[in-house]
Copies of this chain bind each other. A is one copy, B any other.
Amino acid sequence: METSPKTKRPPGEPCCEPVAYPDVAREEAARMAEVAKALGDPVRLQLVDVLRANAGKVCVCELVPLFDISQSTLSHHLRKLRDAGIVDSERKGLWAFYYVRPGALDELAGWLEGR
């Protein structure tokens, strides 16, 4: 946890129970935070929502008209989601089909539910 004291406990009465170390480890927290960060944009969250509702059937050309952003910006968001490991894509000829990777949201979902 890299615990290096920045303030020393006052000599008097303590303010609360001993100490409270985080249950989740650094790497675990880093992984989940990365996923959360990728979902921390309304467009990307809705993208995941659409992709999840239409598993493997949505191509980018159908995604573009759903949002008031340029095609290049949408492509950028899809890349962010892919870099976070949330989605992946498959090309068929000219078109690219995106889908939510199975289990990609499980760890974060589980933690949010309180394990």
Contact = CB atoms under 8 A, between A and B. Distances in A.
Interface of A: 1-7, 9, 15-17, 19-24, 26, 29-30, 32-34, 36-42, 44-47, 49-50, 52-54, 57-59, 61-62, 64-71, 92, 94-95, 97, 105, 108-109, 111-114
Sorted from nearest, which 4 A-B pairs have the closest CB atoms? Answer: A37-B40, A109-B112, A36-B39, A22-B46
A19 to B, nearest CB: 6
A50 B20 contact: yes
Nearest to A16: B59
A68 B36 CA distance: 22
23 contacts: A1-B67, A2-B67, A3-B66, A7-B61, A15-B92, A16-B95, A16-B97, A19-B62, A20-B53, A20-B57, A20-B66, A22-B47, A22-B50, A26-B42, A33-B41, A33-B42, A33-B44, A36-B37, A36-B39, A36-B45, A105-B112, A109-B112, A109-B113
